[in-house]
Amino acid sequence: MISESPVVTVHIPPLLRPHVEGHDEVTASGDTVGEVLEAVGHEYPGFRSKVLLDDGNLVSGLAVYLGATSVRNLQGLATPVQMEELVSIVPVGESD
């Protein structure tokens, strides 16, 4: 099956790189930020539990950006993505 979803680059912070075979960036496809993160988790099973809770929400201590904008200021993990966009996972302090 060929996916028609956009393919995007996901920037992986150093603390999560051991869960994606050491890569600093990976590509994944999905229509939303959440689908993209799920796709990375499908490719690298150890990644999902470090980024997403069982209910599909983001674990605490991480923020996700689409380009330069936090998805928190958009539609959260339901934020749509376009072809070749950059999704960045960023560790944040407890106060964020």
pLDDT digits (tens, 9 = 90+) for 45-95: 999 999 999 998 999 999 999 999 999 999 999 999 999 999 999 999 754
The span from the CA of 90 to the CA of 59, in Å, is 12
Is the C-alpha dihedral spanning 50, 48, 5, 84 positive or negative? positive
- Enumerate domains of the chain plus CATH numbers: 7-91 (3.10.20.30)
pTM of the shown model: 0.90
pLDDT digits (tens, 9 = 90+) for 12-52: 999 999 999 999 999 999 999 999 999 999 999 999 999 99
Tell the residue number behind the tokens 């966009």, with chain if given.
Answer: 85
